[in-house]
Amino acid sequence: MLDLASQDLSERILVCAPFGRDAEMIERELARAGLSPYRCSLLKELCRCIEDGAGAALISDHAFGRNDVAMLAETLSKQPPWSALPILVVTSGGGSTAETRSVIRELEPLDKLTILERPLRPDTLISSVLGAIGTRRQQYQIQDYVRRLQESENTLQTYLDNTGDGIFVLDSGTGRILDVNKRAIELLSYSRDELLQLSVSDIERGLTAASLHGFSEPQLQGVVEMEGANRRKDGSTFPVEVHLTSLAPALPAQVLAVMRDITERKRVELERAEEARRKDEFLALLGHEMRNPLAAISTSLEVLSDNCTPAQRLQLRQATVRQVGMMRRLLDDLLDLNRITHGQIELKKESLDLGDFLEKAAAAVRPTIAERRQKLVVRHPTKPVFFMADRIRLSQIVANLLGNASKYTGQGGRVELSGAVKDSDIVLRCRDNGQGVSPESAERIFEPFTRGHMVRDSYGEASLGIGLALVRQLVELHGGRISVKSGGAGMGSEFTVRLPLIAPQGSQAVTSEPKSKAATQRAQSIVIVEDNPVVATSMKMALEQAGHRVHVFSDGPRALASVDGLKPDAVVLDIGLPGMDGYELAARLRRKSKVRSALIIAVSGFEQKPRAESRGDNFDHYFIKPVEVSTLLTLLSNNFRNGAKSEASKKHLKPKKSKRAVRPRVLLVEDHPFAADATASLLRLEGLEVRTALTGREALEEAPKFRPQLILCDMRLGDMNGLEVIRSLRSNPATKSTHAVILTGFSGTEVREFNRRADEFGVNEFISKPLGRSMIRKLTARLRPQQRDAVHRS
Ligand code: ADP
């Protein structure tokens, strides 16, 4: 039964029967039917209740006073459009009396009016009231449905308006724009009304009504994608990606066009293409520029092997040294540029005296300048001016500028280097009267790998377009800026570097030129462990020339076997040694009483020094190849001067008990010993514990014992295929879930295709060779959870 009393106001049955027996009978019968009416004494009250909400109104004709029907009609007319409150009027005369006729006349057009005639039969009363309530409920349901529909339409509209794409509904017959979202309006800068007057060909260069036409045919339904160009109201255009979808059969003859602004993507594509072009050009140039000094060196060596005079010998030697210097400078510049780009260069500022600094910088280029019969003038304040800067990097800046000035200035030309304090800056100028810089080049020459248009007559020196890029980066690292001025072709050029003048504090205001390293030499016993015979021999010769006794070993085990008898003062060792790498060798040497206090110097082809806390703490010095012989000699003479090592440094000679750091274990399966060695060293530099297997079979034996967290397996091994190795390892519980990576020689696109099917092969991922450090870091990052597990278990 319905319990309307407990329902909300909108379901109330309002009863207004103030006179006669109607009220009593109505209340009784409604109560019997389980309905609880709400009684209103006057029609005025009933009208108020209608405004608050009601399910139906039951009114006795006696309730209507003067103007009451009009009042009720007015109240009902204010209902919302969906609402038609059922009104039941109890009357005696049917439609025949004048009062009833007036009620019917006024109320009927508005509402659902029911006339109940006296004598009122209970059944008729109850069924009429229930019918009225049912009707009213339907109205509420419809209203609810409409409201939800409206809400969902609003939500949909919000989605459409907030997408990043312009959405257009088009008439496929005429191409007219039928509807648009907010983004479309923003993209094209038209108003909505203006757009609805236009056709697709007005806003999209590649589309016409005709091109849409066939597309709405049911048999052609689908999605068309194309690139095009949208036209804004002001006539300007921008690239778009267009997706056309037929809306048939739901909306026949309509096409949905989604236009995505791809300006940014196009810009990046262009940039990448330009980058790729510059890279290709650079590589070609690098090959070319490296070949010149190499050709000079190889010719010199060939001539040297014949019986030539001492004067010729000296000349050839000088030429070779110069070519090697040039190649070294190029490589250093390249590596420095790369380090700066990766934020790996930190300045070590010290106090410099401007005049002193400029004189020394100039001295370094004087021989070249003299050879070219050029004139070098240096100007600086006569009084000392102290400022803070990184001596080495600032020297690099000035050397590059002076080098260029000489290189791009003809024989007999003039180069001027000056330094002064202006406002709160140190201003360095390098001016020449050489070939000059064209205005177009001036914009670009500070970009990496960019050469000027007028590169010619550079005395055969390499021109790779990296010097000025490096100079700019170094200047900016100092908080300064660089600019170039030139009168144009043949008018010379002037490069200006401005650095903020940072004055040294107090006692630091002294030029801190490193003290002369010339020190008494004593014949020392030196062990070299180096597997490259050319490097080993040349180093041996250089150290022997300085009076030392030198012994060379090509690997760790051989060196360990003989080293006791040699009592070395110093050991110079390579890192990437076959079998046992430089780290392990250093650790073992440190355990030998005869070697414990020797100076151990690592000379590595790898760029980054290992972190002290990992494996590099047995080295006294760590150098990147090539290391200058003079540097080694200075270290050796310092070693001699210091005699036995100080207590402080002795502490560190004892192999430290390493903290129990859990390093991820990696099994490297690679059949090429050199590649295996190099990759293993790289992995170790990243702090990983590495074991190498040179065959698939060896990997299958080693893996369950070593329990690696990562397996890096070459695709093609001598005895098996890398995929077979991984498949076998997957069936062993110890290596079932080890992260397995296949290293391939395939290109990036092919590797992507493999990776799509990695699951099929039972492999975690495929990576193309060579394995770089950033990729090793990514792989290690992916291992972290497993590492944590390992620590947790241990
Ligand atoms: P590189 O000299 O190896 O080409 P740089 O980055 O040092 O590379 O210089 C970029 C370009 O700037 C050079 O190719 C040259 O065209 C121009 N340039 C640099 N310095 C001078 C100079 N002093 N006079 C004329 N042109 C110069």
In this prediction, residue 783 carries a pLDDT of 75
Using 50, 70 and 90 to split pLDDT, how confident is the model at 737? confident
d(CA 630, CA 761): 55
pTM (predicted TM-score)? 0.44
Question: For 365-368, which contacts have Cβ atoms below 8 Å and span 24 or more sequence positions?
Answer: 365/399, 365/402, 365/403, 365/406, 368/403, 368/406
Distance 452 CA to ligand 1 centre (A): 6
| 434 within ligand 1 shell (Cβ under 6 A) | yes
Look up residue 680 and give its two tokens. 């293993």
Using 50, 70 and 90 to split pLDDT, how confident is the model at 50? very high
| 419 within ligand 1 shell (Cβ under 6 A) | no
Per residue in 435-465, pLDDT (tens digit) is 999 888 888 899 888 887 655 556 767 778 8
Distance 404 CA to ligand 1 centre (A): 6
In this prediction, residue 51 carries a pLDDT of 92
Using 50, 70 and 90 to split pLDDT, how confident is the model at 403? very high
Where would I find the H helices in 306-390? 310-341, 354-371
| 125 within ligand 1 shell (Cβ under 6 A) | no
C-alpha closest to that of 93 among 84, 83, 103, 81: 103
Distance 427 CA to ligand 1 centre (A): 20
How many other C-beta atoms can be found within 10 angstroms of the C-beta atom of residue 524?
20
| 452 within ligand 1 shell (Cβ under 6 A) | yes
Per residue in 682-712, pLDDT (tens digit) is 787 777 888 888 889 999 998 998 899 999 9
Mean pLDDT of 192-203: 96
- The gap from C-alpha 193 to its chain's centroid, in whole angstroms, comes to 42
Distance 408 CA to ligand 1 centre (A): 7
How many other C-beta atoms can be found within 10 angstroms of the C-beta atom of residue 103?
24
Mean pLDDT of 555-576: 90
Radius of gyration of the chain, Cα coordinates, nearest whole angstrom: 46
Better-predicted residue by pLDDT, 790 or 74: 74
Mean pLDDT of 716-724: 88
In this prediction, residue 792 carries a pLDDT of 36
In this prediction, residue 15 carries a pLDDT of 94
Better-predicted residue by pLDDT, 680 or 47: 47
Bridge partners, 496 (sequence order): 429, 483
Look up residue 98 and give its two tokens. 């004048």
C-alpha closest to that of 361 among 391, 385, 338: 391
* 451 CA closest ligand 1 atom index: 14
Per residue in 267-315, pLDDT (tens digit) is 999 999 988 887 787 787 777 777 777 877 877 777 776 677 777 777 7
- For the chain, give the mean pLDDT: 82
Listed range (168-177, 434-443, 449-458, 558-567) with the worst mean pLDDT: 449-458
Bridge partners, 483 (sequence order): 496
d(CA 288, CA 471): 23
d(CA 42, CA 59): 10
In this prediction, residue 657 carries a pLDDT of 38
Using 50, 70 and 90 to split pLDDT, how confident is the model at 660? very low
Contacts of 476 (CB under 8 A, 6+ apart): none
In this prediction, residue 651 carries a pLDDT of 37
Nearest CA to ligand 1 atom 3: 463
CB 386 within 8 A of CB 503: yes
- pLDDT over 90 for what percent of the chain? 38
d(CA 87, CA 43): 13
d(CA 535, CA 603): 11
| 763 within ligand 1 shell (Cβ under 6 A) | no
CB burial string 742-772: b at 16+ within 10 A, e below:
bbbebeeeebeebbeeeeebebbebbbeebe
In this prediction, residue 711 carries a pLDDT of 95
| 464 within ligand 1 shell (Cβ under 6 A) | yes
In this prediction, residue 650 carries a pLDDT of 38
The listed range with the strongest mean pLDDT (35-49, 334-348, 608-622) is 35-49
Give the three-class secondary structure for 323: helix
In this prediction, residue 223 carries a pLDDT of 67
C-alpha closest to that of 665 among 651, 683, 647, 678: 683
| 492 within ligand 1 shell (Cβ under 6 A) | no
Distance 270 CA to ligand 1 centre (A): 26
- Is residue 788's pLDDT more than 50? no
d(CA 345, CA 332): 13
Per residue in 226-260, pLDDT (tens digit) is 899 999 999 999 999 999 888 877 888 889 999 99
In 344-473, beta strands by DSSP E: 349-353, 375-379, 386-390, 414-422, 425-432
Mean pLDDT of 92-104: 71
CB 603 within 8 A of CB 627: yes
CB 599 within 8 A of CB 626: no
In this prediction, residue 499 carries a pLDDT of 95
In this prediction, residue 482 carries a pLDDT of 96
CB 263 within 8 A of CB 431: no
Q: Best substitution site from 331, 372, 376, 408 to test ligand 1's pocket, by max atoms within 8 Å of Cβ?
A: 408
Phi then psi for residue 73, to 5 deg, are -60, -40
| Alpha-carbon separation of residue 722 from 297, 341, 666, 682 (angstroms) | 43, 36, 16, 21
Better-predicted residue by pLDDT, 52 or 278: 52
Per residue in 500-551, pLDDT (tens digit) is 998 876 534 333 333 333 334 578 899 999 888 777 877 888 888 778 899 9
- Is residue 341's pLDDT more than 80? no
Per residue in 582-631, pLDDT (tens digit) is 888 998 998 888 888 888 998 887 655 554 445 556 888 877 776 777 77
CB 742 within 8 A of CB 763: yes
- Is residue 643's pLDDT more than 60? no
Nearest CA to ligand 1 atom 23: 405
d(CA 35, CA 37): 6
Distance 759 CA to ligand 1 centre (A): 52
* 435 CA closest ligand 1 atom index: 25
Q: Best substitution site from 445, 461, 473, 485 to test ligand 1's pocket, by max atoms within 8 Å of Cβ?
A: 445
Give the three-class secondary structure for 553: strand
- Is residue 2's pLDDT more than 70? no
